[in-house]
Each structure stands twice: as structure tokens, then as C-alpha cells.
Amino acid sequence: MKINMSDLKKQHDGLRDDLDNVIKEVIDSNAFILGGKVTEFENDYSAFTGAKYTIGMASGTGALHVALAALDVGIGDEVITVPFTFAATLEMIHLTGAKPVLVDIEPRSFTMDVTKIEDAITDKTKVILPVHLYGQMADMDAIMELAEKYGLKVIEDAAQAQGSSYKEAHAGTIGDIGTFSFYPGKNLGAMGDAGACTTNSGALADKMRLLLNHGQSRKYEHIIVGYNYRLDTIQAAVLGVKLKELSKWNELRNKIASIYAENLKDTGLVLPIINKNRNHVWHQYVIRTGKRDDLKEALSDLGIATALHYPVPLHLQPSFAYLGHSKGDFPVAELCSEEVLSLPIYPELPAATAVEISQEVIKICKRLEI
């Protein structure tokens, strides 16, 4: 048995002709930077999400940086977010000169514990930055209520949430700005680095377009100090092809998640939950157990790949030691980091294989007395 965490070759083989054609179009056009396929993808992604504006970015990390800069986050400001996420979330806050202020997460949805936010707000707080982790959105009603109460901005880190929704509103369309990653392994993935910001504000959209291209309103006319976070035209063309398949792919991920949920419900594993008013798109299917390492090793011996998202919470990473946190400060995030295990989930995974994986997990759980 050999089961990987994903199979991009199978995905690309199924789209090979369309991908070859759009890449050839870009090559023939010679418009490799900010070409027509970028605008085409931005318009299509806006139609998909319901956002008024989509601004293509070179990566999800760049999207976060531009979003923060567009809201004038800088030295002396504080941004509330979570310690259980990929490092880019905190890195970009740090890069602006602002201070990341952390709140703990919920133990089974892995999203921001909104009951902890208000105590973290100070007169320096400028932004609340929830992370829609693993494909499920945070409690946006509660977050937006607090933002309105205290006059704060909201950036949704939706890097893993393409297609996810909260009360019918797509990820990235409720807060002031949404940020997306199209890293190859995401639900919607490019063939390299790519990302986007979404917003319903024309003023923010205009500012982000300046920021991503050296602050230029036109060539060699620099209105503000900016960066180079332009979305590559070839990547935009690839994303345009794949976007047409995303809803179908997310449905297939949901079927795999349902198989795991049904088959593993009687084990001692802690299974993920879908919170009220959410549409989960299952970027990852993440279980929890105190015997995580033993389960991971046993599955590896069978040829079944698993992954750890994430083994060390950010407040305990050396790069963020300057924040002054120590073990015990965010107990749920710390517990999750010790227990989480991601099982294979991707659209091309056969349902029968998901059943087989489940059966092997059950056998191992019995052996390990989980």
C-alpha cells in the first residue's frame, strides 16, 4: 500500500489539454507580468466568492502583507490572531512593525476562540485577524460584532478556505479584506506560488493594486512605497482552468471527510467538527489523539502518509520568542500541536481507499488502545 497526502499528477493529467492551451496562450502573448489572464482570473474569482474585487498576488504570504499595509498597520499597532497557524500569519504582522497579540483556539474546529478576543483588545489594537484553518471559517458574527464595537478592522486569513462559507457568505468577503494562498497543495492550487486578496471596498482594492506593484499608478510613477507581489500571468492562467473544477473538488473532499467521520466515530480519536452555519471544504482532515506519534508511525509502516499541521505552536517557535510567551500560555493550541494528525484527503482519492485507510486506523487504534 502506498497512499500519499495528495496526488497533483492525477489532478493535472485530467486537465492537461486545457492547461497546455492556456499556458501556450500566455507564451504566445508574451504578457508574462500583469497580462490579460490575471484580470480574467480576478474577475472569475470575484464571481466565485461574491467579493466585489479580487486582487491577484504572488503568494498568500504577500497577500497578508499587502492587506496589513493597506490598512496602515505599523509600528505601535497590535493585531490579534492565533498561535495555531502557519508562520506566515505572524511573520507578516511582524514585518509591518506591529505586534502580534495571540488568543487561543477551539479544540475541535481549530479556529479562533472568540470568547478570548475581547480581553486581548487594548487601545493599540488595530486589526483582528482570524485564520479559517483546515477549510472551516471562524465565528465571523462574533468577530465582526467586536470589530464594530471597538472600531477595529478585520482581515480574514483564508489561505486554506477556498470555497468555504459562513451563513452563505464566502470566506474573505465578510471582513475588510480576505487573503488567499494558491500554493500547489491548496484546494485551488497554482503550479507555483500564487495568492489573492478580496475586498468589497474600492478604495482598498485600489490601494492594494498600488502596493503590489511598487506603488505605481502607471509605469515609473510611484504614488506610494510598495512591493513586488504581482501575480504571474502563467499562474493566473492555470488558476483560471482549475477554478472551474473547484466546487466539484470540494464536494469530493466532503465525501472523503464523511467517510472518515462515519468510520472513525466509534474509536477514541477526537474527530473534527463542523460548527454551526459553516460550509467546510476540508483542506485537511485532522484527527487528535494523545498517541499521535505511535499512530503516525504505524500508518507510515503501512505506506499511508500523514502530516502534522502544526507540530509546534507559533508562540513556542524561536522566531517569536521575543513576544515573551512560554509553555502553558495557550493550552488548547499546545495540546492540539501535540495531538493533531492529518489524514490523506484530496479530490482524486478513491472512496474505497478512504474506507481502507479508516479500517487500518481502526485496527491500529485497537492495538494502541486509543
Clarify whether residues 175 and 306 are in a common domain.
no
Tell me the per-residue pLDDT of 213-228, one tens digit each, with 9 for 90 and over.
999 999 999 999 999 9
Tell me the per-residue pLDDT of 272-297, one tens digit each, with 9 for 90 and over.
999 999 999 999 999 999 999 999 99
Taking the CA atoms of residue 18, residue 19, residue 23 and residue 25 in that order, the dihedral angle to the nearest 10 degrees is: 10
Grid coordinates of 154: 478585520
Clarify whether residues 304 and 363 are in a common domain.
yes
Among residues 158, 150, 106, which one has the least CA distance to residue 130? 158
Clarify whether residues 219 and 282 are in a common domain.
no
Q: CA of 237: how far to CAs of 194, 241, 342, 343, 352, in Å?
A: 11, 7, 30, 30, 33
Residue 255 makes CB contacts below 8 A (sequence gap 6+) with 351
> Does residue 33 fall inside a structural domain?
yes
Clarify whether residues 364 and 279 are in a common domain.
yes
CA–CA dist 74, 279 (Å, integer) = 34
Grid coordinates of 78: 497590535
Neighbouring CB atoms inside 10 A of 275's CB total 15
Tell me the per-residue pLDDT of 85-116, one tens digit each, with 9 for 90 and over.
999 999 999 999 999 999 999 999 999 999 99
Which string of b and e fits 279-307 if b means at least 16 CB within 10 Å?
A: bbbbbbbbbbbebbeebbebbeeeebebb
Helix (H) or strand (E) holding 295: helix 292-301
Tell me the per-residue pLDDT of 195-253, one tens digit each, with 9 for 90 and over.
999 999 999 999 999 999 999 999 999 999 999 999 999 999 999 999 999 999 999 99
CA angle 196, 282, 138 (to 5 degrees): 65
Clarify whether residues 203 and 265 are in a common domain.
no
Neighbouring CB atoms inside 10 A of 142's CB total 16
Q: Residue 122 is part of a domain; what is its CATH number?
A: 3.40.640.10
pLDDT band at residue 368, thresholds of 50, 70 and 90?
very high
Clarify whether residues 239 and 309 are in a common domain.
no
DSSP 171-224: TTSSSSEEEEE--TTSSS--SS--EEEEES-HHHHHHHHHHHBTTEEETTEESS
Q: Residue 301 is part of a domain; what is its CATH number?
A: 3.90.1150.10
> Does residue 76 fall inside a structural domain?
yes
Q: CA of 212: how far to CAs of 34, 202, 225, 242, 278, in Å?
A: 11, 15, 10, 24, 32
Average pLDDT of the segment spanning 65-69:
98
> Does residue 1 fall inside a structural domain?
no
Ordered strands of the 165-166 beta sheet: 169-170, 165-166, 278-279
Whether 87 contacts 61, CB under 8 Å: no
Residue 103 makes CB contacts below 8 A (sequence gap 6+) with 80, 81, 82, 112, 113, 116, 117, 120, 330
Q: What range does the domain containing 128 cover? A: 8-102+111-243
Clarify whether residues 227 and 146 are in a common domain.
yes
Name the DSSP class of 153: E
Point out the domain boundary residue: 243, 276, 299. 243
CA–CA dist 346, 355 (Å, integer) = 14
Question: What is the reported pTM?
Answer: 0.97
Which residue carries 478512504 as its cell? 354
Clarify whether residues 96 and 127 are in a common domain.
yes
Average pLDDT of the segment spanning 340-359:
98
> Does residue 2 fall inside a structural domain?
no
The predicted pLDDT at position 275 comes to 97
> Does residue 359 fall inside a structural domain?
yes
Average pLDDT of the segment spanning 143-147:
98
> Does residue 193 fall inside a structural domain?
yes
Point out the domain boundary residue: 207, 224, 243. 243
> Does residue 285 fall inside a structural domain?
yes
Point out the domain boundary residue: 226, 243, 260. 243
> Does residue 225 fall inside a structural domain?
yes
Percent of the chain surpassing pLDDT 90? 100
Question: Residue type for 30, please?
Answer: N
Clarify whether residues 45 and 172 are in a common domain.
yes
Whether the per-residue pLDDT at 1 is higher than 90: the answer is no
Clarify whether residues 88 and 209 are in a common domain.
yes
Clarify whether residues 128 and 204 are in a common domain.
yes
Average pLDDT of the segment spanning 333-344:
98
Whether 143 contacts 167, CB under 8 Å: no
State how many domains the chain has: 2
Neighbouring CB atoms inside 10 A of 5's CB total 16
Clarify whether residues 264 and 350 are in a common domain.
yes
